[in-house]
Amino acid sequence: MGSKNKLKRFAENATFSNVIQPTRDEVLHDFEWRGNWKSFFKNDNPIVVELGCGKGEYTVGLAKRFPNKNFIGIDIKGARFWRGAKTAIDEDLPNVAFVRTQIELLTYVFGVAELSEIWITFPDPQIKYKRTKHRMTNKVFLDNYKKVLKPNGTVHLKTDSEFMHGYTLGLLHGLGHEVLYANHNIYKNSGSPKEVLEIQTFYEKQYLEIDKAITYLQFRLTN
| Domain boundaries along the sequence of the chain | 112-223
Residues 75, 131: Cα–Cα separation, whole Å: 19
Rg (CA), the chain: 17
- The pLDDT-based confidence of 14 (bands split at 50, 70, 90) is confident
Q: Is 116 exposed, middle or buried (0-12, 13-18, 19+ CB in 10 A)?
A: middle
Prediction pTM value: 0.94
- pLDDT for 1: 55
pLDDT of residue 122 exceeding 60, the answer is yes
- Residue 162 CA to residue 120 CA, distance in Å, equals 15
Q: Give pLDDT, residue 13.
A: 81
Average pLDDT, the chain: 94
Q: Check: CB of residue 204 under 8 Å from CB of residue 160.
A: yes
Q: What is the pLDDT of residue 103?
A: 96
Q: With bands split at pLDDT 50, 70 and 90, how would you rate the model's confidence at 95?
A: very high
Query: Tell me, which fold does domain 112-223 have in CATH?
Result: Rossmann fold (3.40.50)
> Residue 77: pLDDT band by 50, 70, 90 thresholds?
confident
Q: Return the percentage of the chain with pLDDT > 90, whole number.
A: 88
Selecting among 25, 30, 75, 124, the annotated active-site residue is 124
- The pLDDT of residue 138 is 96
98/149 Cα distance (integer angstroms): 18
Helix (DSSP H) and strand (DSSP E) numbers for the chain:
10, 8
Distance between CA atoms of residues 217 and 14, nearest Å: 35
- Model pLDDT, residue 220: 98
pLDDT of 3 reads 66
- Please determine, for residue 130, whether its predicted confidence score (pLDDT) is greater than 60: yes
Is 124 tagged catalytic?
Answer: yes
Question: Can you give the pLDDT at residue 2?
Answer: 61
Judge whether residue 43 has pLDDT over 70. yes
User: What pLDDT is stored for residue 7 in this prediction?
Assistant: 82
Query: Distance between CA atoms of 165 and 182, rounded to whole angstroms?
Result: 9
For residues 4-28, average pLDDT: 88
